[in-house]
Amino acid sequence: EEPMLLLGSAPYQDIVRLMCRGLSLPIDVAKHMTKFLQIKHVEKNHISVVRASSTRGDYPLSSVLGNEEGTWWISVEGSMESGQGEEYLEFSLSPNGTARRCSFVGLSIPPLPHGPLSVRRFRIDWSYDGNEWTE
């Protein structure tokens, strides 16, 4: 099976062919080197919650990764003054910080009266190093 490479990059076979023809590498060496360009899928057991912008503290942050419908994360009261502001949860998708491929994100909003009454927009930002973020 061909490894999954970064979206928008050259196909696996083209990279192998380039290494064989352009660099005169044996095919087994070219295939082995190309695997280092692979972006692996996220493994569920590697996902963790790193931090939250604020929390009311009803449940541990790790509860957002569980399947319990009666647990959730809620930001601290007053954090969205006049219904404006930003709250976030930060997740790690690999234990050693390497890039991972994420195919989907699920979101479950608690029922009223616990659910967010003012949230109208959601977004996903990403970072390789946890310092510089891309929206």
pLDDT band per the 50, 70, 90 thresholds, residue 3: low
Among 6-15, 50-59, 81-90, whose mean pLDDT is lowest? 6-15
Question: Rounded to an integer, what distance in angstroms lies between the CA atom of residue 90 and that of residue 107?
Answer: 14
Integer Cα distance of 133 and 129 in angstroms: 8
For residue 106, the model assigns a pLDDT of 83
Reference 53, options 24, 73, 72; nearest CA is: 73
Q: Is 13 helix (H, G, I), strand (E, B) or coil?
A: helix
What pLDDT does 97 receive? 82
pLDDT for residue 100: 86
Residue 34's Cβ-count burial label (10 Å; 0-12, 13-18, 19+) is: buried
Q: What is the pLDDT of residue 26?
A: 95
Q: Which two tokens stand for residue 33?
A: 């080197």
pTM above threshold 0.75 = no
- What's the confidence (pLDDT) of residue 1? 61
| pLDDT given for residue 23 in this prediction | 92
Per-residue pLDDT tens digits for 17-48: 999 999 999 999 999 998 888 788 899 999 99
Cα-Cα-Cα-Cα torsion 98, 133, 115, 109, nearest 10 degrees, comes to -40
Helix (H) or strand (E) holding 49: strand 48-52
- pLDDT of amino acid 126: 87
- pLDDT averaged over every residue in the chain: 83
